Amino acid sequence: MNAFLKDLEQTAADLRQQANAFAADQRQDDADLTKIRANIYEICATIGNVVRKMTPEEQREAVYRKKLEELPRNWYTALEMARAHGNAQRAAVEELKLEALADVLARFEGRKEG
């Protein structure tokens, strides 16, 4: 799990760097949206680190998976609401968050297989 969490932290750091590059390139909205993606990787890494410290080893995977699955509940609701009200900008933000989380989950499951 250590390597996986380090990988998430690295992705967040890369995205922050990319956000700074966007901002310097007069692409402020891209920068802001990239920061949102970085936040998701950071949140997932933080949750992972807490689970690693607080949970017995044999339960870690299940607990972490459950926490990741619970995390986007409000995002789905927000996405549905945004779509229902034609709020494309908010919908785009929620989609980005969900995509980032899906990537984290895929990496987590991939790590298990490997």
Partner 1 sequence: MTEERVLQLFKCLADRSRLRIVQSLLREDMYAERLAQRLGVTPATVSFHMKKLEEAGLVTSRSEQYYTVYTIRRDELTLPLVELIAGASDQTSEQERREAQYRRKVIETFFEYGRLKAIPAQRKKERICLEEMVRGLEPGRVYTEPELNEVLLRFHEDYCTLRRDMISEGLLTRDGGLYTRVE
- Stretch touching partner 1 by CB under 8 A, among 23-31, 39-47, 64-72, 105-113: 23-31
For residue 94, with 0-12 CB atoms within 10 Å meaning exposed, 13-18 middle and 19 or more buried, which class applies? buried
- Report the residue from 9, 95, 105, 107 that binds partner 1 according to the rule CB under 8 A: 95
- Report the residue from 93, 101, 104, 108 that binds partner 1 according to the rule CB under 8 A: 93
| Shortest separation between residue 90's beta carbon and partner 1, angstroms | 9
Q: Would you say 72 and 98 are in contact if contact means Cβ atoms under 8 Å apart?
A: yes
C-alpha to C-alpha distance for 75 and 20, rounded to whole angstroms? 26
- Stretch touching partner 1 by CB under 8 A, among 1-9, 22-30, 47-55, 67-75: 22-30
Q: Would you say 33 and 100 are in contact if contact means Cβ atoms under 8 Å apart?
A: no
Of 9 and 95, which CB lies nearer to partner 1 in the complex structure? 95
C-alpha to C-alpha distance for 27 and 114, rounded to whole angstroms? 38
- Report the residue from 14, 29, 70, 109 that binds partner 1 according to the rule CB under 8 A: 29
